[in-house]
Structure 1
Amino acid sequence: MTRKVTLGARLSPVLAVFALALPLHATPVDDQLVIEGENGPVEIVTEAPAPVHLKGVLETIYSGWRFRNAETRALERDDFDNPGMVFVDRGRDKWNAAIGAKGESCASCHGGPESLKGLRAVTPRVDEKTGALMTLENYIDTCLTQRMGLESWNWTSTDMSDMLALISMQSRGMAVNVAIDGPAAPYWEQGKEIYYTRYGQLEMACANCHEQYFGHMIRADHLSQGQTNGFPVYRLKDAGLLSAQKRFVGCVRDTRAETFKPNSPEFKALELYVASRGNGLSVEGVSVRH
Structure 2
Amino acid sequence: MRGRAGWGRVLCGLVLLAWAGAGQADERRSGRDTMSPALRALQADDAQHPAQLALALGRELWSAGSRSCASCHGPVESLRGVAARYPAWDGGVLDLPGRVQRCRVQHQQQPAWAAEDESWLALVALVAQQSRGSVVQPPAHPGLDAAAQRGEQAYRQRRGALNLSCAHCHDERASLRLGGSVIPQGQVDDYPVYRLEWQALGSLQRRLRGCFSGVRANVPAWDAALLMDLQVYLSRRSAGLSMQPPGVRP
Q: Same fold (TM over 0.5)?
A: yes
Work out whether 1:270 is the aligned partner of 2:230: yes
- In 2 relative to 1, CA 189–180 (structure 1 residues): closer, same or farther, beyond 3 Å? farther
Distance 2:63 2:175 in 1: 42
Distance 1:200 1:172 in 2: 36
Match of 1:66 among 33, 45, 62: 33
**Corresponding position of 2:42:** 75
Q: Which amino acid is the alignment partner of residue 77 of structure 1?
A: A
**Corresponding position of 1:147:** 107
Equivalent residues in 2 for 1:170-185, closer than 5 Å: 170-180=130-140, 182-185=142-145
Give the structure with the higher percent helix: 2
**Corresponding position of 1:24:** none
Equivalent residues in 2 for 1:224-243, closer than 5 Å: 224-243=184-203
Deviation at 1:182, TM superposition (A): 3.1
**Corresponding position of 2:249:** 289
Distance 1:133 1:56 in 2: 33
Which is further off, 207-216 or 171-180? 171-180
Consecutive unaligned residues of structure 2, counting only runs of 5 or more, are 1-13
- In 2 relative to 1, CA 126–96 (structure 1 residues): closer, same or farther, beyond 3 Å? same
**Contact 1:180-1:188 within 8 A present in 2 as well:** no
Deviation at 1:58, TM superposition (A): 8.2
Equivalent residues in 2 for 1:1-290, closer than 5 Å: 51=16, 59-98=26-65, 103-127=66-90, 131-180=91-140, 182-290=142-250
Distance 1:165 1:174 in 2: 15
- In 2 relative to 1, CA 202–58 (structure 1 residues): closer, same or farther, beyond 3 Å? farther
Corresponding residue SS for 2:190? coil
Name the TM-score, length of structure 1 as normaliser: 0.77
Name the TM-score, length of structure 2 as normaliser: 0.88
**Contact 2:97-2:121 within 8 A present in 1 as well:** no
* Misfit runs of 4+, over 2 Å: 49-59, 179-183
Deviation at 1:154, TM superposition (A): 1.7
Consecutive unaligned residues of structure 1, counting only runs of 5 or more, are 1-48
- In 2 relative to 1, CA 166–175 (structure 1 residues): closer, same or farther, beyond 3 Å? same
Report sequence identity in percent.
Answer: 31
Distance 2:84 2:203 in 1: 15
Q: Which amino acid is the alignment partner of residue 186 of structure 2?
A: G
Distance 1:51 1:172 in 2: 20
Distance 2:188 2:35 in 1: 15
Deviation at 1:56, TM superposition (A): 8.9
- In 2 relative to 1, CA 180–193 (structure 1 residues): closer, same or farther, beyond 3 Å? farther
- In 2 relative to 1, CA 56–164 (structure 1 residues): closer, same or farther, beyond 3 Å? farther
Compare CA radii of gyration and give the structure with the larger one: 1
**Contact 1:126-1:184 within 8 A present in 2 as well:** yes
Distance 1:141 1:53 in 2: 35
Number of residues of Structure 1 aligned to a counterpart in Structure 2 = 235
Give the structure with the higher percent strand: 1
Distance 2:115 2:17 in 1: 32
- How well do the aligned residues superpose, as a CA RMSD in angstroms? 1.9
**Corresponding position of 1:20:** none
Q: Which amino acid is the alignment partner of residue 91 of structure 1?
A: G
